[in-house]
Amino acid sequence: MHRRALLTSALITPLVGACGPAEALLPAREPTTGLDAALLEQADAAAEALPRLHTMIVARDGQRLFERVYRGPDLDTPVNVKSASKSVIAALGGIAIGQGLFEGVDQPISDFLQDRFPAQPDPRLREVTIGHLLSMQAGLGSTSGGNYGAWVSSRDWVRAALARPFEAEPGGRMVYSTGTSHLASACLTRASGRSTLELTRGWLGEPLGIEIPAWPADPQGIYFGGNDMRLSPLALLTFGELYRNDGVHDGTRVLPEGWVKASWDGRGTSRWSGNPYGYGWWIRRSGGHDVYFAWGYGGQMVFVVPALNLTVVMTSDSSPMDSRGGHVDALHGLLDRVLVPAAERGAAV
């Protein structure tokens, strides 16, 4: 095991007082409310004991107070963020609405994809909207889980996703499906005349100053709308901070006003976790605080706790794992039992 970190345990304590050796490591900014030093040390030890965890970054009030590479690539190296890609697609959807490319969340997807509908489509396809895609409420049968392999092996991912039998009414219960998110990518491409890769680079990469490498596309050239994007842990932090700051980055509005609030309003609910889902973001509670998080398979996490001005990024081994291992549960536990209390106590210092 190797250590590559901005802050080691020996430098955690000076951070709370915003003085000492840590000053050379952090840029000069407004004083932070900090994090409890003892609890942050506990978090570091607990994180190190998780064999699948690669990196962890903890930021408070926009300051990176802790970051460490436990194993794997460096903090500025893009990694596969898996289904956290869906949160990025949802951000693009909001920007498209702000620019008038989409009329709004209630615009039907038939405006863009009708020529991709099956020959004898279910009439409910005309009821599916952009918002339904972003909130996983399209009602179409899932292409995830046991259906994933056949779907990504198909000749036309968009047609295959649209041809899935309905499991729920459009706008009804949540049906988690990567194919649904991919349909959002197809709508973005049709509406703009540009690839989703170009849009991501132009609408997010450039204003946020983050690298957006190319990621896989389907056989028709539509960039994968719900999986396999690559972003560095530091880029994920910048993305999380964009949402924590209500869509504004360095004084420039990137997301339309009100989009973050709309994205963090739970619509569907996971049948597995019971957590609500907004537009690309999951929602839960921790220590009495609302937590909004992007989640990718294997433990690619961006946690935002607005009440505490707290943003936490964790990246993990994304190879197939034993579902009984509980790694993702351990990441939530690390946030709940240590990092949130560290912020709560830090605020009182």
CA 158 and chain centroid, separation: 22
How many CB atoms within 10 Å of residue 46?
17
| Gap between the Cα atoms of 283 and 251, Å rounded | 26
What are the CA-CA distances from residue 56 to residues 59, 73, 175, 318 (Å)? 10, 12, 30, 15
Look at residue 312 and tell me if it is in a domain: yes
Q: Residue 254: inside a domain, yes or no?
A: no
Q: How many helices (H) and strands (E) does the chain have?
A: 14, 13
187 and 281 inside one domain: no
The amino acid at 80: N
Same domain as 86, residue 43: no
Phi, psi values for residue 209, rounded to 5°: 70, 35
Please indicate, yes or no, whether residues 87 and 168 belong to a single structural domain of this protein.
yes
Is 240 within a domain?
A: no
Is 150 within the bounds of a domain? yes
* Tally of structural domains, the chain: 2
- Sites in the chain below the pLDDT cut of 50: 1-31, 349
The last residue of a domain, from among 200, 235, 251: 200
Same domain, 60 and 101: no
Q: Answer whether residue 31 is part of any domain.
A: yes
Q: Where are the alpha helices (DSSP H) in the chain?
A: 12-16, 37-48, 85-98, 110-113, 130-135, 148-152, 157-162, 178-192, 196-200, 206-208, 233-244, 259-263, 327-334, 340-348
**Whether residues 66 and 110 fall in one domain:** no
How far apart, in Å, are the Cα atoms of 181 and each of 103, 164, 278? 18, 14, 13
What pLDDT is recorded for position 33? Answer: 78
Q: Give the model's pLDDT for residue 320.
A: 82
Q: Pick from 176, 200, 224: which residue ends a domain?
A: 200
Assess whether 109 and 152 both reside in one domain: yes
**Angle between helix 327-334 and 37-48 (nearest 10):** 170
Query: Do both 98 and 38 map to the same domain?
Result: no
Q: Which residues pair with 108 in a beta bridge?
A: 129
Distance between CA 60 and CA 307 in Å, rounded? 11
* Confidence (pLDDT) at 288: 95
pTM listed for this prediction: 0.90
Query: What would the two tokens of residue 244 be?
Result: 């924590």
Look at strands 79-80 and 63-69 and give their pairing: unpaired
**Are 115 and 186 in a shared domain?**
yes
Which helix (H) or strand (E) segment is 282 a member of? strand 282-286
pLDDT confidence of residue 30 = 42
pLDDT reported for residue 42 = 97
Residue 311 lies in a domain: yes
Q: Is residue 50 domain-shared with residue 121, that is, in the same domain?
A: no
| pLDDT for 140 | 98
185 and 104: one domain? yes
62 and 12 together in one domain? yes
From first CA to last CA, the distance across the chain in angstroms is: 34
Q: Looking at the domain assignment, is residue 222 inside a domain?
A: no
Final residue of a structural domain among 143, 165, 200 = 200
- Whether 260 is covered by a domain: the verdict is no
Contact 298, 317 (CB under 8 A): yes
128 shares a domain with 99 = yes
Under DSSP, is residue 229 helix (H, G, I), strand (E, B) or coil?
coil
Q: Please give the residue range of the domain that contains residue 301.
A: 4-76+275-348
